[in-house]
């Protein structure tokens, strides 16, 4: 009997836990969290433990499907699928030009596959537009860092969570969203944990202090705290003058944000704000940790930068236990941000710069004319293009916006206007696959090779532990087949494995902030237990945990960080008499992930979360409306309505209701507002009313 031990990375959240599989004669006989991996140290959450179960679901798509003349999807061969793919996209692109088709990708596949997709779609097929579903989670953090630091560079390493004395989780329900990371707090014996969140989440209840802020009061709160820090002389002036630009503008901007002046918008007492500012100042090492409560906002970038500002002006960056730290959403959102060839050329090169296009063209061995000279439209503009007729064809890879996109009824209307839709996924019964003309069966993460990059910039290996079912293929092989069918075999002849692409990216990254030119290949990543970027060939550093900016040098031309501010603008859809509640959406339980494409197919996980959609309502509001726990209620916004179960819960403040993102009943209600810099949707505010059924 042939027995192998294989270590691979979990493909749900961005913590990046590793698991060790024992494989005997091709069958996985044991699956355990890896004790030696520096990320999870033998720990896991239930999703990771059950990673393989959804891959073995009967729902797995095992052959390509093509829509027939009867309007139904039917099994077809791969040869037929590749031909239909090439014919469908060529017809649209030849007729309507290079801006008439686009791809919409994911943070869930290895970044080598993302890089292949980015090259195939843009350099090969000739599309200008291609974005990722990381637009729905991390675009805000990415833009905030890029503008402030000169590069999209989360500065922390996970040991910072163990070394910080004052940890502020702002808009983060890490207890259920990033449980293994949250668990590391138990190694920190000298700390205060503060949660700033409108909901009394599990994270808030587990913290030392919950600051129950009004929805969208966070930017005013942070500016008032900044004002307090400045007014009390708590600024690290030496750090500010040596390492930042924009302090005078920041000080002038926040001068009017007194704690008293923001009491109403934040729902907090001036004393609470003053105490927070003083404790932040007094901490030896203070840190912010944020996720979607900040990123999903109409002013998310400037809110993230308000935390970045606070860390910079108090010198809480580049030291153990400090930092403005965004916790990423999906397993490989960081890989998508730097290597997917969507919003930027590989490794942060710029589509709009001649020299950058020339460099990438030389590295790829292609004519520079093949590289688009403009940036892609962002996700929401691509979808709007379906309305206006600009976009005629879309290719979705490992993503399900038919469930997850904001204001989702409009999304489905737009899909009806397209000439050609391709979905590449594990299952054919996702909401998006159901409207496709062609569905391509893909392998799951444990069925192929590549790398993910986690929240702390650690590149972790994805190794194959089992075969995909039926004719399902790794996304790499699907891209290879499409390239051949398109007549692009020569362009990608050098890419015969994901590791070939890894080595290309390592070479291209040389000299950039995300330089990984010193990583020779997958075996080195396996041997090191993951490697954080940067890892340059000319300055390799084998410390297991590395944070950025210890020398106070940022990635801007002058090496200084930018302090950035904005005016507060009104919420996009104010509540009124007809729609008196603020609807907040977010993650429901530790055992659910996003649109439940995978977690919904695990019998084990399904036992541990509510089967039906629900809305959490404050007890006072429920009593006033005569609503009891378990009653059927209809939640209505200006865009749609959904009938769900009422959950009467003191998690909610009066006037606010919560619905979990995992159920399709939620996004018909959400309001399509977007941050003006990151274009990330604001899933955390819509005006709704709630009515008891019957």
Contact 655, 624 (CB under 8 A): no
Instruction: At 515, list the tokens.
Output: 């330089």
Residue 605 sits in the site that holds ligand SF4 (CB under 6 A): no
Contact 424, 475 (CB under 8 A): yes
Residue whose CB is less far from ligand SF4, 45 or 211? 45
* Residue 301 DSSP code: H
CA distance 475 to 115: 11
Cα dihedral 27, 33, 34, 35 sign: negative
Cα dihedral 501, 506, 512, 514 sign: positive
Binding mask 74-113 for ligand SF4 (x = CB under 6 A): ----------------------------------------
Binding mask 572-601 for ligand SF4 (x = CB under 6 A): ------------------------------
Residue whose CB is less far from ligand SF4, 179 or 372? 179
Q: In what order do the strands lie in the sheet with 323-326?
A: 209-211, 192-196, 166-170, 286-290, 323-326
Residue 329 sits in the site that holds ligand SF4 (CB under 6 A): no
Residue 21 sits in the site that holds ligand SF4 (CB under 6 A): no
* Residue 119 DSSP code: I
Place of tokens 């293994």: 180
Which of 45, 306, 327, 438 binds ligand SF4 (CB under 6 A)? It is 45
- Contact stretch for ligand SF4 (CB under 6 A) within 41-49, 118-126, 279-287, 360-368: 41-49
C-alpha angle 527-529-532 in degrees, rounded to nearest 5: 115
Q: How far is the CB of 45 from ligand SF4 (least distance, A)?
A: 3
Nearest CA to 618 out of 30, 200, 123 is that of 200
Instruction: At 185, list the tokens.
Output: 């707090």
Write the CB contacts of 624 (distance below 8 Å, at least 6 apart in sequence): none
Residue whose CB is less far from ligand SF4, 13 or 485? 13
- Contact stretch for ligand SF4 (CB under 6 A) within 10-18, 304-312, 523-531, 639-647: 10-18
Which residue is closest to ligand SF4 by CB? 48
Q: How many residues bind ligand SF4 (CB under 6 A)?
A: 13
Residue whose CB is less far from ligand SF4, 45 or 196? 45
- Contact stretch for ligand SF4 (CB under 6 A) within 8-16, 23-31, 218-226, 431-439: 8-16
Place of tokens 């050609």: 420
447 SS3 class: helix
Q: How far is the CB of 598 from ligand SF4 (least distance, A)?
A: 11
- Contact stretch for ligand SF4 (CB under 6 A) within 9-17, 198-206, 470-478, 535-543: 9-17
Residue whose CB is less far from ligand SF4, 589 or 643? 589
Residue whose CB is less far from ligand SF4, 446 or 474? 446
Residue 13 sits in the site that holds ligand SF4 (CB under 6 A): yes
Q: DSSP readout, 148-176?
A: HHSS------TTHHHH-SEEEEES--HHH
Residue 453 sits in the site that holds ligand SF4 (CB under 6 A): no
Nearest CA to 563 out of 234, 347, 218, 310 is that of 310
Nearest CA to 398 out of 120, 113, 9 is that of 113
- Contact stretch for ligand SF4 (CB under 6 A) within 37-45, 85-93, 226-234, 635-643: 37-45
Residue 16 sits in the site that holds ligand SF4 (CB under 6 A): yes
Q: How far is the CB of 13 from ligand SF4 (least distance, A)?
A: 3
The Cα-based distances of 641 to 339, 633, 652, 668, 689 in angstroms read: 39, 10, 21, 7, 9
Which of 7, 8, 10, 472 binds ligand SF4 (CB under 6 A)? It is 10
Q: How far is the CB of 513 from ligand SF4 (least distance, A)?
A: 25
Contact 664, 403 (CB under 8 A): yes
Q: How far is the CB of 182 from ligand SF4 (least distance, A)?
A: 9
Q: How far is the CB of 489 from ligand SF4 (least distance, A)?
A: 36
Which of 47, 302, 464, 594 binds ligand SF4 (CB under 6 A)? It is 47
CA distance 130 to 139: 14
- Contact stretch for ligand SF4 (CB under 6 A) within 43-51, 142-150, 289-297, 398-406: 43-51
Nearest CA to 143 out of 12, 299, 247, 254 is that of 299
Nearest CA to 475 out of 449, 456, 501, 503 is that of 449
- Contact stretch for ligand SF4 (CB under 6 A) within 12-20, 457-465, 556-564, 684-692: 12-20
Tell which positions 173-212 bind ligand SF4, by CB under 6 A: 179-180
Q: In what order do the strands lie in the sheet with 531-532?
A: 450-453, 458-462, 531-532
List contacts with ligand SF4 (CB under 6 A). Answer: 10, 12-13, 15-17, 40, 44-45, 47-48, 179-180
């Amino acid at each position: 009997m042939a027995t192998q031990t294989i270590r691979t990375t979990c493909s749900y959240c961005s913590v990046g836990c590793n698991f060790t599989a024992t494989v005997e004669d091709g069958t996985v006989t044991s699956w355990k969290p890896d004790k030696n991996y520096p990320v999870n140290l033998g720990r896991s959450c239930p999703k990771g433990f059950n990673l393989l179960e959804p891959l073995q679901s009967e729902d797995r798509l095992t052959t390509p499907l093509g829509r027939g003349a009867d309007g139904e999807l039917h099994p077809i061969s791969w040869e037929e699928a590749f031909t239909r793919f090439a014919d469908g996209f060529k017809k649209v692109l030849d007729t309507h030009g290079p801006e008439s088709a686009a791809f919409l990708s994911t943070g869930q596949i290895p970044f080598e596959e993302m890089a292949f997709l980015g090259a195939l779609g843009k350099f090969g097929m000739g599309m200008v537009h291609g974005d990722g579903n990381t637009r729905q989670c991390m675009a805000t953090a990415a833009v905030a860092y890029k503008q402030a630091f000169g590069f999209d560079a989360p500065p922390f390493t996970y040991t910072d969570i163990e070394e910080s004395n004052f940890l502020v989780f702002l808009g983060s329900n890490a207890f259920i969203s990033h449980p293994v990371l949250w668990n590391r707090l138990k190694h920190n014996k000298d700390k205060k944990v503060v949660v700033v969140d409108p909901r009394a989440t599990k994270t808030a209840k587990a913290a030392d202090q919950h600051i129950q802020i009004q929805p969208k009061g966070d930017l005013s709160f942070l500016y008032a705290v900044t004002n307090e820090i400045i007014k009390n002389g708590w600024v690290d002036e030496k750090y500010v003058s040596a390492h930042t630009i924009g302090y005078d503008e920041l000080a002038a901007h926040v001068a009017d944000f007194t704690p008293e002046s923001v009491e109403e918008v934040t729902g907090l007492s001036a004393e609470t704000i003053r105490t927070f500012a003083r404790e932040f100042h007094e901490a030896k090492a203070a840190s912010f940790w944020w996720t979607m409560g900040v990123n999903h906002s109409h002013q998310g970038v400037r809110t993230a930068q308000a935390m970045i500002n606070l860390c910079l002006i108090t010198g809480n960056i580049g030291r153990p236990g400090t930092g403005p730290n965004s916790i990423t959403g999906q397993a490989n959102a960081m890989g998508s941000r730097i290597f997917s060839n969507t919003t930027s050329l590989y490794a942060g090169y710029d589509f709009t710069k001649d020299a950058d296009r020339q460099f990438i063209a030389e590295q790829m061995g292609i004519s520079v004319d093949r590289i688009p000279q403009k940036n892609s439209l962002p996700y929401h503009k691509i979808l709007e293009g379906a309305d206006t007729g600009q976009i005629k064809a879309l290719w979705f890879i490992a993503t399900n916006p038919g469930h997850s996109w904001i204001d989702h009824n409009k999304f489905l209307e737009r899909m009806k206007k397209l000439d050609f839709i391709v979905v590449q996924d594990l299952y054919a019964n996702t909401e998006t696959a159901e409207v496709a003309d062609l569905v391509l069966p893909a392998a799951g993460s444990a069925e192929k090779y590549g790398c993910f990059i986690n929240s702390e910039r650690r590149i972790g290996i994805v190794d194959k532990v089992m075969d995909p079912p039926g004719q399902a293929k790794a996304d790499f092989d699907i891209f290879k087949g499409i390239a051949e069918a398109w007549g692009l075999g020569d362009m990608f002849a050098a890419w015969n494995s994901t590791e070939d692409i890894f080595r290309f990216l390592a070479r291209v990254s040389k000299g950039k902030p995300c330089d990984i030119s010193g990583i020779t290949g997958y075996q080195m990543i396996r041997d090191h237990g993951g490697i954080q970027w940067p890892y340059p060939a000319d300055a390799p550093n084998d410390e297991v945990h590395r944070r950025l900016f210890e020398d106070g040098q940022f990635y801007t031309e002058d090496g200084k960080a930018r302090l950035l501010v904005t005016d507060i603008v009104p919420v996009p859809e104010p509540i009124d008499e007809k729609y008196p509640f603020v609807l907040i959406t977010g993650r429901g339980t530790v055992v659910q992930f996003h649109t439940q494409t995978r977690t919904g197919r695990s019998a084990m996980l399904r036992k541990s979360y509510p089967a039906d959609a629900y809305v959490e309502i404050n007890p006072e509001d429920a009593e006033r409306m005569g609503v009891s726990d378990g009653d059927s209620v209809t939640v209505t916004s200006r865009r749609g309505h959904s009938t769900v179960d009422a959950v009467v819960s003191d998690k909610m403040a009066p006037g606010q209701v919560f619905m979990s993102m995992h159920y399709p009943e939620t996004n018909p209600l959400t309001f399509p507002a977007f941050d003006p810099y990151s274009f990330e949707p604001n899933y955390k505010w819509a005006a709704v009313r709630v009515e008891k059924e019957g």
